[in-house]
Amino acid sequence: MSIQKPSIPKGTRDFGPAVVARRNYIFGIIRRTFEKFGFAPLETPTLENLSVLTGKYGEEGDQLLFKVLNSGDFLKDVVADDLAAGTKKVLPKIAEKGLRYDLTVPFARYVVMNRHQLTFPFKRYQIQPVWRADRPQRGRYREFYQCDADVVGTDSLLCEAEIVLMMTEVLNDLGLTDFTIKINHRRVLSAIYQALGGEGTEIDLFTAIDKLDKIGREGVEKELTGRGFSQDAIEKLFALLSVEGPFTEKLERLLAGFVTAGVPPENEQGYKGLQDLQRVVDLLQQSGYQDFAHLDFDVTLARGLSYYTGCIFEIKINNVNMGSVSGGGRYDNLTGAFGLPGVSGVGFSFGVDRLYDCLDELNLFPAATQTTTICLIANFDAEAESAALPVLRQLREAGIPSELYPDHKDKLKKQFQYADQKGIPFLLLQGSEERIQNKFKLKNMRTSAEQLLPLDEVLTALTQAQ
């Protein structure tokens, strides 16, 4: 058998123990916050039927779906006429399933399939990997984890306010203090579209605006021109998008801009979008929210996914060169695609991989996340090994993650190196002299400080150090 150089697909990664420990630190903070706000855990399959996934993310999203080939000799069912007819006729015969693109559409499918067993409003969180056939780059992977929280069965704007509260709590708990939570409303964007005279299509406009921070005004203008928007409409668009000031002032100025641009007063949907945003601010104030400096009404925020219908969110970490680390919004009829119309929902998702990169760049991971082991017991010889085993049991029973160095033939220097390389913070030693005194030498590997203590005090010291 020939020897192959091992490799993994582009856009995927292996995670060693230290990285997994750090990722679990992020997962833990997010999970605790979601559960604190009343969200229950849920999991859905890795594979979904393509009929579930396609048509929910817009044209660009559908192109990024990973399709899974049918098992067996599927090509025999594909005839020359099918090949000539193109992808729409061939695809169902060679691929009926796909890897999930996000967690929201599978969640909507789950709600419809289990609607008679659920209590509405239904609040769930989900922490699982998703896959996108995207071009790999920094902060963008083909396989990555999302942490979603959604509530369906209510159109109350209290849900939007609580999303802001959860976002803020998670970021603060992670030590990320320089961030902006951007919020907009799809109905506001729809009103802007009407102000442009109805050229092109709404989704063309939303898709182009969503790329503003990536390709700049010139790039957006070029894309809109190519999609049939006139130069006059484009100028009017950027006049509306350029409103500045604090949150409430932006709302007022955009309202005035709508009037100037000729958005008719009977366009209740467009004006309601501004009212919804103000209501979210009011609810946050009543909740005692203290972080309004981090909340921004961003008129240019569009969110490319086609199923959003109301408030939309995005988070930017300002002191790191990174794309958004979270996004979401309200969707009024996502379940309608599966036969249950009129069930409104709202949710958001954290991208753990991007959060990890931000914390890593800013050196915000606590030292305790480096390893799962708190204490290593040194192993001098066979006699020391036998004496250490009951001690190891007591450490573990006290809830202190511990291990005994397995080979007493290795020199103490090598055992020290082992603890140092694994980031184990404490080393416990009991040589012949310490055994006579029935005490242990507890060495802090980070400060080099040493203490001679009886076992009960060792247990207390290590418990307090966790």
Please state the separation of Cα 191 from the chain's center in Å: 30
Given a cut of 80, whether residue 454 has pLDDT beyond it is yes
Q: What is the pLDDT of residue 95?
A: 81
pLDDT at 80 over 70: no
Whole-number percent of the chain with pLDDT over 90: 56
| Average pLDDT of the residues in 73-95 | 58
pLDDT-wise least confident of 73-77, 90-94, 142-146:
73-77
Q: What is the pLDDT of residue 208?
A: 83
For the whole model, what pTM was predicted? Answer: 0.84
Bridge partner list, 442: 428, 451
Is the pLDDT score of 207 beyond 70?
A: yes
Q: Which residue has the tokens 């907009």?
A: 184
Q: What's the pLDDT tens digit per position in 399-449?
A: 999 999 999 899 999 999 999 988 899 999 998 889 889 999 999 998 999
Asked if the model's pLDDT at residue 320 lies above 90, the reply is yes
Q: What is the pLDDT of residue 417?
A: 94
